[in-house]
Amino acid sequence: MSPKKKTIVTIILIILPIIFFFGTICIGRYYVSLKDVCLCLWQGVTGYSSGLSTETIAVVLQIRLPRAFLGAMVGAALAASGAAFQGLFRNPLVSSGILGVSSGAGFGAALAIVLFNNIFLTPVFAFVFGVIAVILSYFAGRIDNTSPTITLVLGGTIIQSIFAALISLLKYVADSATELPAITFWLMGSLASTKTSDVLLAFVPMVIGMMGLLLMRYRLNVLSMGDREAKTLGIHVNANKAFIIISATLATAGAVCVSGVVGWIGLIIPHVARMLVGNDNKWVVPASMSVGACFVILCDTICRTLTGGEIPLGIITALIGGPFFIYLLKKTKGRNW
């Protein structure tokens, strides 16, 4: 890619999420103009009264702002983790859930729903079990103090199916009038129940994880050469792998624990990013974050505006993402992929 084109793409990737972010706050059954949104945000930051109705201020600051913010974070975190795992496992078909974090989180959420039926404990359980699942996968795939790529993927697949079975078990024993629908909706993923407390809970692990991935992004190129070459090129393969797995797990677990299982993003967005900026992970990881943030904001806006009720996010991401991806594939003829 020529430097000029690179500059243009970089600028677009920085500006686009900001446009989407403000756009989604404006849009909804209760329309708020961009000027009013800015006034509300200004009031939120400075406390200086904007003169707008309390209704408008409540919609913007308490409902749409946390939801837009969380959507952007979730999209960026899932896409960046997906990009990292694809590089690490040298496989364009793995996603952010390959080491079982989504299944583990799903199990944790289902467990909290069945045991306590408490909306505050659900994200906490989801986060903890997401992390536990990855730890189990990591040790399942570890052989003689090394973690070969293929056994890690196998370990992840096994742990995923164990947790999937446990989720089914919990669904089976759950109260079919109240708990079962709650579990099912959680597993479809949604940002509908976003509360400021969720944002704060998920914010810390997502930011730490994404920082880790941004810092290590060049090493993904080297790791994608395979363990043997990466070692002879002068990096400590196991330590680097562990660092990336921990970062991606924090980012994904943070995202999944508040949004539920949103498929697609960790698989597809990194490919969209590669089509835009090429394959050097120095660019792929930040570009994935930008595209992921835009994509989740867009899908979530559709979720809450298309019908009178809320459509689960996981459904829209697949319905929008699938055709969009096919379009991109045809347009680029899969060359950069």
Among 121, 282, 320, 324, binds another protein (CB under 8 A): 282
Secondary structure (H, E, C), 61-73? HHHHHHHHHHHHH
Say how many C-beta atoms besides its own lie within 10 A of residue 164's C-beta: 15
| CA–CA gap between residue 337 and residue 275 (Å, rounded) | 7
- Binding to another protein by residue 35, rule CB under 8 A? no
Answer yes or no whether residue 335 interacts with another protein by CB under 8 A.
yes
Q: How far is CA 248 from CA 162, 217, 223, 328, in A?
A: 21, 11, 15, 26
CB of 235 to another protein, least distance (A): 6
Say how many residues touch another protein, by CB under 8 A: 30
Name the residue nearer to another protein (CB basis): 270 or 312.
270
Taking the C-alpha atoms of residue 147 and residue 141, their distance in angstroms, rounded to an integer, is 6
Question: What are the angstrom distances between the C-alpha of 328 and each of 82, 283, 324, 331?
Answer: 18, 19, 6, 5
Contact call for residue 226 and another protein (CB under 8 A): yes
DSSP string of 202-221, one letter each residue: HHHHHHHHHHHHHHTHHHHH
Q: How far is the CB of 227 from another protein (least distance, A)?
A: 9
Angstrom distance (rounded) from CA 337 to CA 324: 15
Query: Binding segment for another protein among 50-58, 63-71, 178-186, 227-235 (CB under 8 A)?
Result: 227-235
Q: Which of 23, 41, 199, 280 binds another protein (CB under 8 A)?
A: 280
When asked if residue 175 is in the footprint of another protein (CB under 8 A), the reply is no
Decide: helix, strand or coil at residue 168: helix
Q: Would you count residue 336 as binding another protein (CB under 8 A)?
A: yes
Of 89 and 186, nearer to another protein (C-beta) is 89
| 333 part of the interface to another protein, by CB under 8 A | no
Window of 26-34, 43-51, 180-188, 329-337 that interacts with another protein by CB under 8 A: 329-337
Task: Out of 34, 161, 181, 236, point to the residue binding another protein (CB under 8 A).
Answer: 236
> Taking CB under 8 A as the rule, does residue 278 contact another protein?
yes
Q: Which two tokens stand for residue 122?
A: 């659900």
Cα angle at 228 between 231 and 232, to 5 degrees? 35
**Which residues of this chain interact with another protein, rule CB under 8 A?**
87, 90, 92, 215-219, 221-222, 224-226, 228-229, 231-237, 274, 278-280, 282, 335-337
